[in-house]
């Protein structure tokens, strides 16, 4: 009878550990407890620098910028050409251009943008999206533009963790993986990093976010296009602000390219795609990483948690509720310490599920096998 009980206990522990791993790691349920808890840790415990990042500047084109123009989309190509030339004139370290040029507009303006990008003295990195291969061999407008521009290219995808079994929660937590068979294998941020002489291979796909600086400045210096072009009453020392910086040019429109991130967990605030690319770029430049345990090690931790929980469940009497509450607090503390001091995303929810299920199994097994 005892041998049968031991086999039953071992099978129960393995099942609970495997189920906990699948529920919290493999399936990534939308708004699930694992993501919610890790997002909360990220929003509270990520690195908070003393001041804004010293090497990255963002330039936004927004609705106010485009008020003098007859249309909002596609963004006026002459405006973009003027902006690229203005930034290039002050000597930036590199220019990142986060606009998709996938269709023709006014020919003269399209040509002006092409010339501005092609003749810039600073290194220019263009953003692009993957395109289906055409059976006829004809090239799309984007492909033709990128080919003529003759500049480095990085893909602009942001990973929102889609899964065929569940609906995505549309939160950007990870750097997007490379798309097999597509020409743009490196991300926009990775290509820009190489302009600083760095070629760091990401050790984790998780984005290591920077929180708002302690001195209440912006995470990255952000200017509007009209300020850079001198079209406002405000007169800032633009050359000094942009010189020797990696300058990212992109849009900040309320109706597109706005994303939820772990920093949105308490407010549902959405961030422009350019801001997310800047966060990834800053992480690569600073060599900061968030890491997770490999799934075999996660499974081992959950097996140990379920085993220990089962053993405790067999021993405790009516104080099991206190044990459960204490264990929840202890695991929360472990998760906080691991994130704050080791940049490790501890699988809190999976271990907790395995632990509590082990305790329950241990308690009820005493009724089956006295």
pLDDT in tens, 149-194: 999 999 998 876 555 544 556 889 888 877 776 777 789 999 999 9
Whether pLDDT at 240 is above 70: yes
Whether pLDDT at 237 is above 60: yes
Residue spans per domain, the chain:
2-46+291-368, 56-286
Q: 227 falls in which pLDDT band (50, 70, 90)?
A: very high
Residue owning tokens 């990973």: 159
Please, are residues 63 and 253 in contact by the beta-carbon 8 Å criterion? yes
Which DSSP state fits 76? Answer: P
Whether pLDDT at 123 is above 50: yes
Other CB atoms within a 10 A radius of the CB of residue 21 amount to: 23
d(CA 234, CA 226): 10
Whether pLDDT at 68 is above 60: yes
Position 30 scores a pLDDT of: 38
Q: How far is CA 275 from CA 60, 118, 175, 346, in A?
A: 10, 25, 13, 26
Among 27-31, 330-334, 346-350, where is mean pLDDT lowest? 27-31
Which DSSP state fits 101? Answer: -
Q: Of the ranges 1-5, 147-151, 180-184, 267-271, which is most confident?
A: 147-151
Q: 306 falls in which pLDDT band (50, 70, 90)?
A: confident
Position 135 scores a pLDDT of: 56
**pTM value?**
0.84
d(CA 121, CA 196): 16
Closest CA to 47 of 292, 212, 281, 272: 212
Whether pLDDT at 369 is above 50: no
d(CA 9, CA 358): 9
Position 93 scores a pLDDT of: 96
Q: Which residues of 259-275 are buried (b: 16+ CB within 10 A; e: fewer)?
A: bbbbbbbeeeeebbbbb
Looking only at the bridges linking them, the beta strands covering 94-98 and 246-251 are: parallel
115 or 7: which leads in pLDDT: 115
Which DSSP state fits 82? Answer: H
What's the chain's average pLDDT? 84
């Amino acid at each position: 009878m005892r041998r049968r009980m031991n086999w039953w206990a071992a099978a129960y522990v393995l099942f609970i550990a495997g189920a906990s791993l699948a529920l919290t790691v493999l399936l990534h349920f939308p708004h699930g407890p694992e993501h919610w808890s890790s997002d909360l840790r990220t929003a509270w415990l990520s690195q908070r620098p003393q001041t804004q990042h010293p090497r990255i500047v963002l330039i936004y084109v927004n609705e106010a910028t485009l008020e003098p123009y007859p249309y909002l989309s596609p963004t006026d190509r002459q405006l973009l050409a003027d902006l690229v030339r203005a930034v290039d004139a002050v000597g930036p370290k590199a220019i990142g251009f986060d606009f998709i040029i996938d269709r023709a507009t006014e020919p003269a303006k399209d040509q002006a943008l092409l010339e501005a990008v092609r003749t810039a003295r600073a290194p220019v990195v263009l953003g692009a999206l993957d395109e289906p291969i055409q059976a006829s061999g004809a090239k799309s407008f984007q492909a033709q533009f990128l080919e003529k521009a003759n500049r480095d290219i990085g893909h602009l995808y942001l990973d929102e963790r889609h899964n065929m079994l569940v609906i995505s929660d549309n939160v950007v937590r990870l750097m997007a993986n490379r798309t097999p068979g597509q020409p743009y294998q490196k991300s926009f941020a990775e290509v820009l990093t190489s302009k600083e002489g760095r070629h760091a291979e990401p050790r984790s796909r998780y984005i290591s976010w920077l929180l708002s600086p302690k001195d209440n400045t912006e995470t990255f210096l952000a200017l509007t296009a009209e300020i850079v072009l001198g079209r406002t009453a405000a007169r800032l020392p633009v050359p000094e602000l942009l010189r020797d910086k990696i300058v990212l040019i992109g849009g900040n429109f309320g109706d597109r390219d706005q994303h939820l991130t772990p920093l949105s967990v308490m407010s549902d605030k959405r961030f422009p795609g350019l801001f997310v690319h800047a966060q990834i770029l800053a992480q690569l430049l600073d060599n900061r990483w968030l890491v997770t345990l490999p799934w075999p090690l996660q499974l081992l931790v959950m097996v140990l948690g379920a085993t220990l929980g089962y053993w405790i469940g067999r021993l405790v009497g009516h104080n099991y509720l206190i044990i459960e509450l204490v264990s929840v607090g202890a695991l929360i503390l472990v998760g906080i310490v691991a994130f704050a001091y080791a940049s490790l995303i501890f699988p809190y929810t999976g271990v907790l599920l395995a632990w509590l299920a082990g305790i329950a199994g241990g308690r009820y097994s005493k009724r089956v096998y006295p």
